[in-house]
Chain A
Amino acid sequence: MSEYLLEVKDLKQHFPIRTGWFSSKPLKAVDGVSFEIKPGETLGLVGESGCGKTTVGRTILHLYKPTSGEIIYNGQQITPQNIHNFRQEMQIVFQDPYSSLNPRMTVSDIVGEPLDIHKLYGTKGERADRINELLRLVGLNSDHARRYAHEFSGGQRQRIGIARALAVNPKFIVCDEPVSALDVSIQAQVINTFEDLQEKLGIAYLFIAHDLLVVKHISQRIAVMYLGRIVEIADADEVIAHPMHPYTQSLISAIPIPDPNTARTRQRIPLEGDVPSPLNMPSGCAFRTRCRYATERCAQECPGLTEIGPGHRIACWNPHE
C-alpha cells in the first residue's frame, strides 16, 4: 500500500473547441499534471486565472472525464466505471457561496441531501441528529437548520457548503477558491474551520486559491501552475522563501504584503505582458514568452518536473536562485 491517499499521474484534460463547421482544436486546460497528496495533508494549488486549477480539481473527481492520465485513490485507479464507489470519499467545496446553494432549500435539506442519496441513516431522528452534528462541526447550530440559505451571510453560507461536503465522511476534499469571495475577517473564520476539521477528522485537502497568503497559511505543500502544467512543487515554506522557477519568483514578489516597511523595501520581479491563450500555447516551455531567463532550448523542448532539492521539483531548463 502506498503512503499516498491520492496520486495523480500525467493528467490531461483537453477540451475540443470548435474552430469551424467541421474542425475543432484542443484547448489544453490541463496538460500533464502529476502530484501526490498524503492522508490528512493539504496541498495548495496556485496560479493565474485560467491556468487550469479548477479543471484539475474537477477532473480528479471525474466531474470531467480525463483525456488521459491516472488518478489513483488509496492505491486503486479511478475510472468512469468505478467512480461511484469513490463519491463518498471525495467531495468538493465551491468558490461562490451565493450561487452554489439552492436558495429555496432549507439548511437541513441542503446538508441532508447527501445523507439521503447515500442512505446514511436509519430513522428520521438519526438524520436530524447527524445534521445537527454537522452544523456544530462547522460552527453553526441546530437553530440554523430550518432557515433558508439566502438568509445567511457569505461566511455562513460557505460553512453550509462545507457541512454538506462533510455529510458523507469524506477523506479528501477539493476546495476550489472556498474563501475568495469572503471578507478578510470572515475568511479567517472559514480557514480556521477547515483547519479544525482536518485536525479532528484527518481530511486531506486540495486547496485551490489565488491568494498566496491564504495558501501559504493553510498548506503543507504548494504546487504552482502555469498554462495547464505544474512548474514548481515543494513544501509551502520552501516555495515562499526559496522559489526556484522564474514564474514562481515573479508571482511571490507580486503578492501585496500588508506591512508598510516590507512594501517599501521589497524588490518586485515584474512580469511583462499577459498569459498566452491556452489555444495557442508557445512551443517548448509555455512560460518562455514572459521569462527573463529564456534561451533557445526553451522554445524547443518542454522541461519536465525535476527534483532540485528534497521534495522540491521545478520544470525549468535554467533555474536561478
Chain B
Amino acid sequence: MNEPLLQVKNLCTSFNVDSGEVRAVNGISFNLDKGKVLGIVGESGSGKSVTAYSIMRILVEPGRITGGQILFNGEDIVQYSKKQMREFRGKRVSIIFQDPMTSLNPVYTIGNQLREAILLHTDRNHEQANARALEMLQLVGVNEPEKRLKQYPHELSGGMRQRVMIAMALACEPDILIADEPTTALDVTIQAQILELMQSLQKKMGMAIIMITHDLGVIADMCDEIIVMYAGRICERGTADEIFYNPRHEYTKGLLRSIPRLDAGHTRLIPIAGSPVDLTNMPKGCAFASRCDNCMKICLSELPEELDINDFHKASCWMNVKQVYDEAAAEKEADSK
C-alpha cells in the first residue's frame, strides 16, 4: 500500500479571542492520495478555510495550530521552520482564493508576478522563467497572453484574474492545489470555464486538489471524495455517490434537502432549523444536536464516534449506531420466532 501524499491527523486549530477560545478546527483527520480531488463542504464558519490555512501554515493572528500532525510524504510540516515552509508553499502545495486580488499584487504586472513565483521555486533562469510565464498563461486559456504579461491585475476581468491566479499557483507544478471557493465570485458560465480548466490541468499534471466550497453542485461535478464539515469537525465522509445518494449524518441530509433542484416540480424547500453553534462554547455531545430533528438523549452527552457505513463511507452520527443495534435486535427476534 502506498503512503498517502497528505495525512492530516487530529488537527486542532484555535483562535484566542476576548470571548474565549474559538475552536475553528477541532480534531480532524483525513488523507489525500496523489492525483485525487477531495471536496470539503460545510456551512459558513464550519472550518473549511481554517483547515486550508492550517495546511499552508498561513493562519493569521491569533490563529494557532494547537494539536495534531500534517504529514506530507510522511514529514510533519507542523514542525517545519519558516524557511522550510517558504520552500514547501508554491512548490509542494499551492492555494487559490475566492478573491484573486488577495494573491495578486496590484502594483506589479502579471508577468512580473508570475516570473517571481517561478524564480523563487525552480532553478530556471530569468529567460526560462519568462518563457514559462507565457506558457502558463496559454495553458490556462488567457487570450492575448503576451499582452497580459504587461498588464496589471485591475486591467483584467474577474474570470481572467482567476485564471492568472491558477497559472501562478500551478507554475511550479505543485503536488497539491488547494482551491478555497475558487469560483464563488464568478458567473456560472465563467465558473464552468474555470472548473473545466482545473479538471483538465489536474489530469494533465496529475496533481491532487482540495476543493473547498459550499456549492454542492461544484462538489458533485469535481470530486472523487467528499468531506462534510460541521462546527470544526468532520461529520461525514465518502465518495460523491455515497454522500449524495446515501447520506448518513443528519446535517448532510438536511443540507441536501434544503437545496432547490432543477428537475423537481415545485416542492417546498426544507430548511435546517436553528442557527450555527457558538464555537467558543461547544456543546458536550453532537454539535448538531440543537438543530437535529432526530436528536436522542445520548446525542446531548456523548460525542458520536465515526462509524464505517461501508468501504467508501464513514459518518459520525448516533443514528447509525442505533440502527446497528435495532437491526441486531430485529434479527434476534426473528430468530427466536
Which residues does A use to contact B, with CB under 8 Å? 48-49, 153-156, 183-189, 191-192, 195, 210, 212-214, 216-217, 240, 250-251, 253-263, 268, 270-271, 273-274
Contacts and interface: CB of A to CB of B under 8 A. Distances in A.
Interface string B262-281: 10001011111001100000
Interface of B: 43-44, 143, 157, 159-160, 187-193, 195-196, 214-221, 240-241, 244-245, 254-256, 258-262, 266, 268-272, 275-276
Contacts of B258: 184-185, 187-188
B262 A255 contact: yes
A258 B270 CA distance: 16
> Main SS of the interface on chain A?
helix
A263 B221 CA distance: 5
Contact of B271 (A192, A216, A217): A192
B192 A185 contact: no
Given A184-B255, A250-B189, A256 B215 contact: yes
> Main SS of the interface on chain B?
helix
29 contacts: A48-B188, A48-B190, A156-B275, A183-B43, A183-B214, A184-B216, A191-B269, A192-B269, A210-B188, A213-B262, A217-B269, A254-B191, A254-B192, A255-B188, A256-B195, A256-B215, A256-B217, A256-B218, A256-B220, A257-B262, A258-B215, A258-B216, A258-B220, A258-B244, A268-B192, A268-B196, A271-B192, A274-B157, A274-B160
Contact of B240 (A156, A189, A192, A260): A260
Contact of B188 (A183, A256, A258, A263): A256
Q: Which of B43, B159, B269, B270 lies at the interface centre, i.e. has the most chain A CB atoms within 10 A of its CB? A: B269
B137 to A, nearest CB: 15
A4 to B, nearest CB: 23
A168 B189 CA distance: 38
Given A188-B271, A270-B196, A217 B260 contact: yes
Nearest to B254: A185
A188 B270 contact: yes
Given A214-B260, A256-B220, 8 more contacts: A153-B276, A183-B214, A186-B271, A192-B271, A212-B262, A254-B191, A256-B188, A256-B192
Nearest to A214: B260
A213 B217 CA distance: 10
Given A48-B187, A183-B214, A260 B241 contact: yes
A274 B156 CA distance: 10
